[in-house]
Amino acid sequence: MKLFNVASYVCLQNFRKWQVDYRVWIIAILLFMFTQIFTKEIIEFSKAINIEVTPWIFPFLFTQKFVKLLFFFPLILLFCDAPFIDDNQAYVIARSGRIPWSIGQIAYIIIASSIYFLFLLFLTIIINISHIQFTSSWGKVLGTLANTNASSVIGLKTFVSRNILYYFTPLQAMWFTFFLSWLVGIVLGLVIYVINSISNTRIWGVLTASFLLVLDATVTGFPSIYRFSPVSWSNLDRIDINGTTQMPSISYIYIGLAILIIGMIILGIIANRKQSIHVLPPI
């Protein structure tokens, strides 16, 4: 119990630094900008046909491969200084011990990733609140964009998938998109954490996570390869729902993500136990 109490203090300390961390504020502003830019056409379309849009835009926010790069890149920026060793961490490690410290840092990645995607989810609603109608259905605007060529006529930059509308209710789509994105965010954060801890640098972890991101954009259009690209698993349109495609099933994705996350947590803790502490300048 004491171990988890100490770990929670280590984790909370990272969040307290957010108030004065320019990087976090800039990431928030970038996300605001990107969300506004990539939902603008949907709102303009809803104004043009005089029908309000439903608040379920989030599942379609990063369905386009290059847009997904833009939305996931700030997440890499958020974790790019993992394992978060700044000036005072040497004292924190001395007081807490290595294992509770590692658990605290990993918990920070897990919680920060959830906050990141919750923030995005609420941004899609808050930014467009004046044009949103709260109903439990997908609504006519998203339905028209998915089932007609309206999206290409208005130059929509994201992709409103017909399959998502067909197979999921809005709440299911919102939950699964959030949940899978969160898990993928944890994987990316842990990749940076583990590789930076092992290499004692900041660059290799970021490069590996960026490679995984670019891999997602590269494999688009090759369904049989999606199962080797963890970042692709956050997209509902890339999941085999009824067993008729070569894309990975939801069970495969859950098992794959669980193995990746648990494996990297263990690796991270082992790496931290033997890691020499080098304080690097803040980014």
* Binding-site ranges for other proteins (CB under 8 A): 22-23, 26, 29-30, 33, 37-38, 66-67, 70, 77, 155, 157, 282-283
Least Å distance between CB 24 and other proteins?
11
Least Å distance between CB 281 and other proteins?
8
Least Å distance between CB 29 and other proteins?
5
User: Whose Cβ is closer to other proteins: residue 65's or residue 140's?
Assistant: 65
Rounded distance, CA 38 to CA 64, Å? 10
Q: Write out the two tokens for 26.
A: 């800039």
Using the Cα atoms of residue 241, residue 243, residue 244 and residue 247 in order, give the sign of their dihedral.
Answer: positive
Instruction: State in Å, rounded, how far the first CA of the chain is from the last one.
Output: 34
User: Whose Cβ is closer to other proteins: residue 29's or residue 259's?
Assistant: 29
User: Whose Cβ is closer to other proteins: residue 67's or residue 180's?
Assistant: 67
* Other beta carbons less than 10 A from residue 188's beta carbon: 26
Rounded distance, CA 120 to CA 125, Å? 9
User: Whose Cβ is closer to other proteins: residue 149's or residue 251's?
Assistant: 149
- Whether 108 and 11 have beta carbons less than 8 Å apart is answered as yes
Least Å distance between CB 189 and other proteins?
18
User: Whose Cβ is closer to other proteins: residue 22's or residue 91's?
Assistant: 22
Residue 108: which residues within 8 A CB-CB, separation 6 or more?
Answer: 10, 11, 14, 15, 84
User: Whose Cβ is closer to other proteins: residue 155's or residue 243's?
Assistant: 155
Least Å distance between CB 80 and other proteins?
9
Q: Write out the two tokens for 249.
A: 């099933």
Least Å distance between CB 72 and other proteins?
14
For residue 5, give the nearest of 79, 85, 88, 95 by alpha carbon.
Answer: 95
Residue with tokens 């590789």: 195
